Amino acid sequence: MSVSKVAKDVVVFDYGFGNVRSAERALARTGARVEITRDYDRAMTADGLVVPGVGAFAACMAGLTRARGHWVVGRRLAGGRPVLGICVGMQILFARGIEHGVASEGLDEWPGTVGPLRADIVPHMGWNTVRPPADSRLFAGLAEDARFYFVHSYAVHDWELTPPGPADPLAAARVTWSTHGDPFVAAVENGPLWATQFHPEKSGDAGAQLLTNWIETL
């Protein structure tokens, strides 16, 4: 695993719904300077912002809103400043989530709906492989059979964002898929906004390399 030559400044946004300590330790392995905080100014000025998430979609959105995280994410992205969502921190980036038949609004950074996994065994808990696109920067240097740790009962099954024209190739979304029952979105790289459904901070060396890849783009 390579290590960034210049230490990057990363904030793990603490809004009460994420494995913040695990994320902090995993990011520190890359050589980044990591701080756990919900301070608005620190979250806005850091080189990179990580939005973790565990639990229910609606509860995570409510917690993020109370902590002004929706403003932080939106304004960072408007300025082209990197954000990484993890697990439910990825799900709330979509337009809506449906849990137990109840729809909740998300951040709407991407169109689409987070819904129940279409599988015989739920939750999807454990290690699984993924299928990144050939030009993925997030999965650069990782073997095709690299495995990542998932814990979730909901996912996005249909990618709805219309690709941009050829004049803006860097903004084109690169979507990584995995399968548990039906295929679902496992990760997205879209301009300054990247996200994973799995937990890179719990995915051993593969997760560490993935986080290093993200840090090196900051």
Task: Extract the tokens encoding 216.
Answer: 């090196």
Q: Which residue among the candidates 87, 109, 124, 157 is catalytic per the annotation?
A: 87
Judge whether 35 counts as a catalytic residue: no
Question: CB-side exposure of 65: number of CA atoms within 13 Å?
Answer: 11
DSSP 55-107: S-HHHHHHHHHHTTHHHHHHHHHHTT--EEEETHHHHTTEEEEEETTEEEE--
Q: Which residue among the candidates 24, 109, 189, 201 is catalytic per the annotation?
A: 201
- What does the alpha-carbon distance between residue 84 and residue 47 come to, in Å, rounded to a whole number? 11
Q: Which residue among the candidates 152, 157, 180, 199 is catalytic per the annotation?
A: 199
Quickly tell me which residue has 């990247």 as its tokens. 194
Judge whether 60 counts as a catalytic residue: no
- What does the alpha-carbon distance between residue 190 and residue 84 come to, in Å, rounded to a whole number? 10
For residue 193, list its beta bridge partners.
83, 190
Catalytic residues: 87, 199, 201
